[in-house]
Amino acid sequence: MKKLFLSFLALGMISLGTAQQSSQKKNNTVTQKKVAPASIHHFKIKALDGSVIDFSQFKGKKILIVNTASKCGYTPQYEQLEKLYQQYKNQLVIVGFPSDNFGGQELDTDKEIASFCKVNYGVTFPMATKVDVKGSQATPIFKFLTQKSLNRVKDTEIKWNFTKFLLDEKGKFMDSFPSKVEPLSQEIQKHLK
């Protein structure tokens, strides 16, 4: 009887150990973070006109992303952005992201923003819907652009409107440029030649 009891006890201990290991494996699987894609081609966002901007359609082209505003001292950069877009159209896509994060310098509606850009600067490059580009409410694309843990290159603090982010043909982060760096500057164009 004692041997039978010890056998059941040993069997129970083995079962318990196996169950704990299995539980630990499951917990490890559940708690492991999914590795974030290091390419912008995984993102989509609503455009000013209500359509969807799917970044996967830009594979094979460099992408310049700019947080924009209609009532900012840097707003005239729209003109240079459009010239840059026209000059490098076969190898570059520019996407503007209107934002009201800095001094409330953006118009209220997507329709107003679209009209302003077209009428005043002849903008033809894609423009996303108005978004937050910093803080806890930042759109996922800007979290990707500003956090090294996501883009795998560097952290970038957006200090004002017209901060620029350049991505390569595979959608991987290359560099960022502060507001004062103009779109037609050599600092940006050297990456496009």
Give the catalytic positions in this structure: 72
Q: What six digits make up the tokens of 63?
A: 């992408």
Best CA proximity match to 141, nearest among 63, 87, 89: 63
Strand ranges across the sheet with 173-177:
92-98, 62-68, 164-167, 173-177
> Residue 55 pairs with which residues in a beta bridge?
none
What the block records as the tokens of 70 is 């209609």
Dmax (CA) of the chain: 95
Show the tokens assigned to 128. 């996303």
